[in-house]
Amino acid sequence: MKLLFTGAAPWINSGYGKPGRYLFPRLSQLGHEVGLLAFAGYKGPPIETQLGGETVKIFGPAKTHFFNDIVAFHATAFEADYVISLQDAWVLKDWGHKDMRWLPRMPIDTDPISEENLKAIEGAHRPLALTRWGQQQLQDHGWLDAGYIPHGIDTGVYRPADRAGARAKANLPDTFIAGMVACNASNPSRKSFPEVLLAWKQWKEQGGPGILYLHTTVTPYQETGIDFQKVLGTLGLDWSTLDDPLSGRRSRAVVLFPSQYKMWASTYDDEALAALYNAMDVLLSPSQAEGFGIPIVEAQACGVPVVTLAVTSMPELTWAGKCLEPIQRVWEEQGGWRGIVGVPDLVDALDWAQQMSEGTQAAKYLAEKGRENAKRYDFDRVVEDYWIPLLEQLEDELE
């Protein structure tokens, strides 16, 4: 079949770009012809590129960022049997009423699924959820044939490694490290950056050791986000970056960020990110909501415990760590509920993580449990268990 996907260009190191590197070659090897509508990382006429020895055709946008004006024309030019979007559905306008078979593979990050998302997928051929929780949300709202295909990771890259070696590779100090891997693209912060910073301040005031490493941009990634310099200034927390030329400022920092040039240039690849996870004692990911949560799976694949929030998809993906109960619900403007993490609960979780970092038998068991569960999300498993059955069904529908 001819399958036209949406997503970031495959050379973009993000959750939207990785499927291009890992998923598309596997689908091509199964005999399918793959195209990509690249909403980030490429603008220009259609081109062909090689991914894993397989050819993928890449299309650029026209007037609108997410192809709302030209998607049907690209689908016709590619002679696509199916168009499968790998992104938020609510930004895609009227795709279900265009002359194409559209399968929105969509994150759902409000409880219940928002009216805006439901309206966006009207007329779709069949929606696909990233989690079982999301699949149930779609089924509860009338899409009884909603499918399920989770994100994938490369467990050959994301695997346990020597912590001291990982810290040396990541240029991080040999101390207790709590980390976050999250995009700074919303304000109020869906990723719960302010709550984590408040907890970190309390942790340090109580004599807690270590540093907080935030793998994100200091300034907003998009139009909305947090100016960390201002926030950290109000909290009196010294901060620096991994490439800070001022050694004194770096030595005083209790909050560290990656090289900002590397972040903006998207040069942190999977191997570098795996080293960062392995350098951590715990990944903090207590988001207000997640449509999936790729770092949660990647960290556990590396044997690193996680701290999440018991809302939307996160209980489903938390096998080795603490899934905290929200202290209250918060309404999202699209039309659904999310959760707020409690700062005292995060401080308690840091205490727990420090104990786990001492290499107890419980910590070893937890690392093994996280690793084994994460293996179910390896790209080879995801293709075999979910993509192949779905594509066989779609082929039958064309006959």
Q: CATH number, domain at 18?
A: 3.40.50.11930
Does 122 map to a domain? Answer: yes
Q: Nearest to residue 119, comparing CAs of 143, 135, 136?
A: 143
Q: How far is CA 275 from the centre of its chain?
A: 17
pLDDT at 15: 87
How far, in Å, CA of 290 to CA of 126, rounded? 22
Amino acid at 288: Q
Tell me: do 384 and 337 sit in the same domain.
no
Low-confidence ranges of the chain (pLDDT < 50): none
Cis peptide before 112 (omega within 30 of 0): yes
pLDDT at 334: 85
Tell me: do 204 and 89 sit in the same domain.
no
Tell me: do 101 and 237 sit in the same domain.
no
Structure tokens at 96: 């279900």
Tell me: do 231 and 256 sit in the same domain.
yes
Tell me: do 76 and 187 sit in the same domain.
no
Does 320 map to a domain? Answer: yes
Tell me: do 373 and 383 sit in the same domain.
no
Tell me: do 178 and 51 sit in the same domain.
no
Tell me: do 357 and 387 sit in the same domain.
no
Structure tokens at 194: 């302010």
Tell me: do 270 and 242 sit in the same domain.
yes
Q: Dump strand ranges (E) for the chain.
A: 2-8, 33-40, 47-51, 54-59, 82-86, 102-106, 128-129, 147-148, 177-181, 211-215, 239-241, 255-257, 282-285, 306-309, 321-324, 328-332, 336-340
Does 157 map to a domain? Answer: no
Tell me: do 195 and 289 sit in the same domain.
yes
Domain hosting residue 65, numbered range: 2-152+378-398
Does 307 map to a domain? Answer: yes
**How much is the pTM?**
0.97
pLDDT at 27: 97
How far, in Å, CA of 94 to CA of 367, rounded? 45
pLDDT tens digits for range 247-273 = 899 999 999 999 999 999 999 999 999
| CATH number of 357's domain | 3.40.50.2000
Tell me: do 254 and 322 sit in the same domain.
yes
Does 176 map to a domain? Answer: yes
Does 158 map to a domain? Answer: no
Tally of structural domains, the chain:
2
pLDDT tens digits for range 49-69 = 999 999 999 999 999 989 999
How far, in Å, CA of 85 to CA of 229, rounded? 36
How far, in Å, CA of 340 to CA of 326, rounded? 5
| Strand order across the beta sheet in which 47-51 lies | 47-51, 54-59, 33-40, 2-8, 82-86, 102-106, 128-129, 147-148
pLDDT at 136: 98
Whether residue 336 contacts residue 119, with contact meaning beta carbons closer than 8 Å, is answered with no
Distances (CA, A) of 54 to 35, 45, 361: 11, 20, 45
How far, in Å, CA of 353 to CA of 138, rounded? 35
How far, in Å, CA of 106 to CA of 135, rounded? 10
Tell me: do 175 and 109 sit in the same domain.
no
Does 118 map to a domain? Answer: yes
